[in-house]
Every structure is written in structure tokens, then in C-alpha cells.
Amino acid sequence: MGQRGEPRREQARDGELGAAVARAQDGDEAAFAVAYRIVQPGLLGYLRGLVGEEAEDVASDAWLEIARDLGRFKGDGAGFRGWTATIARHRALDHLRRQRVRPRSSALEQDVLDLPGPHSTHDQALEAMSTEQALRLVRGLPQDQAEAVLLRVVVGLDGPAAARVLGKRPGAVRTAAYRGLKRLATRLGAEGVTDEAPRTLGESK
């Protein structure tokens, strides 16, 4: 999770993913396995941020629904990544409701701000963390910030796609991701890093 180029690598594989999904919709089981291998790591990381140790069970439920409804999906590889994240999120929220654990409400939900320029602080903060440490810290963020960071950084969605998954405006998701990454950077004591990167992982495309 901590590598700056990871979302770009995810997007580079979306062509392969889209082709695999199209073949899977024609009944090619091997192609479905390819799509699963591409999507599952990011999806599982996202779910770990939402439900912790229950992530694999929730992911299994999500993939059953994905397989069942695959014929109804329309879109490319990036769209499939967003569609599967939406299904996984619904299954995670169902799981949390069953556990009687409500996601934390957020005062930032409607808070859309003009953001300053990107800072490499956030990238470097993430690069300093192991995946497990990162997920543990992300789970400590307000719910909207945690989900925005997970969708952008772990699943590899762009800003508009993450907004569609969450049912929010892109500006609100951009704000949440920015604030979440800034908070992570602060916790890691990385506030003094100079601005070097052309974009932040939380920046909307």
C-alpha cells in the first residue's frame, strides 16, 4: 500500500482486467479467475479497513454476488474495479449492521473545500508504513476519511469512481482523502517534509 506508484500500476492493469471480464461474461471461467486475481488484493485491503479480521468472509460474500450478477455489469476494467468495491462495501455495511456496530458518522460529509496544492508529505507518510500498520492507522480515521483513503490508495480508484462507490460528490471524497492522508502524515511525524511530488494519492483526477 505504501508505494507511490501503486494506483498507477492498478490502472495500468485495467486493460487486462476489462478484457478478462468481457471473456468471463461469455462464460470463460479461467478469465473470471484472472479478474479475481487482479481485483482481490485491493478489495481485501479495503475490507480490512472496514471490518478488520472479518474481511475474508465479507470478501467471499461479495465475490458470490459479483459472480451471480456478472452478466449485468457494463463497463471497462476501471468500472469493474469500482463496481466490485461498491458490492464489497454493501456487504461490509451489512456485516457491521449484523454485528450492531454502526460506522462512525462524520461531520465532514458535506464539507467541500478548495484544497491547497498537493504535498509529498502524504505519499512519504504512506511509504513509511507497512501494510498492516497502515490499515491499523487508517481504521483510526473518521469513517469518511478512512473509506476515501482506502478506495483511492488500496483499491486504486480515481476520485470520481471513489465518489460513486460512496454515493458522495467527488469534492467531498477528495476533501476526505486529503484530510485522512494529512492526519496519517501528522501521526507519523512527517509534517516537515518538503513539497516534491507532482500529485498526492488523495488528489482527485
User: Mind listing the pLDDT tens digit for each residue in 60-74?
Assistant: 999 999 999 999 999
CATH of the domain at 188: 1.10.10.10
Question: Does the residue 197 lie in any domain?
Answer: no
Q: End-to-end alpha-carbon separation of the chain, Å?
A: 19
Q: Is residue 112 in some structural domain?
A: no
What tens digit of pLDDT does each residue of 79-138 get? 999 999 999 999 999 998 888 644 444 333 222 222 333 334 455 555 555 566 677 788
Question: Looking at the predicted structure, is the pLDDT value of residue 152 above 60?
Answer: yes
Q: State the maximum Cα–Cα separation within the chain, in Å, rounded to a whole number.
A: 53
Q: Is residue 40 part of a domain?
A: yes
Residue 123 maps to a domain: no
Q: Is position 88 within any domain?
A: yes
pLDDT value for 88: 95
Higher-pLDDT residue of 3 and 155 is 155
Task: Residue 134: count other Cβ atoms within 10 Å of its Cβ.
Answer: 24
Residue 177 lies inside a defined structural domain of this protein:
yes
Q: Tell whether the model's pLDDT for residue 8 goes beyond 80.
A: no
Range of the domain at 140: 11-101+131-192
How far apart CA 158 and CA 94 sit, in angstroms, is 25
12 — pLDDT class (breaks 50, 70, 90): low
What mean pLDDT is predicted for residues 34-52? Answer: 92
- Identify residue 22 by its one-letter amino acid code: A
> Are the C-beta atoms of residues 8 and 19 closer than 8 Å to each other?
no
* Mean of the per-residue pLDDT values of the chain: 76
Describe the crossing of helices 77-98 and 29-51 by its angle, rounded to 10 degrees: 50
Within 10 Å of residue 197's Cβ, how many Cβ atoms? 17
- Judge whether 115 lies within some domain: no
Q: Quick count: other Cβ atoms within 10 Å of Cβ 70? A: 15
Considering the chain, what percentage of its residues have pLDDT values greater than 70? 69
Domain count for the chain, please give it: 1
Whether residue 1 contacts residue 134, with contact meaning beta carbons closer than 8 Å, is answered with yes
Q: Is 162 within a domain?
A: yes
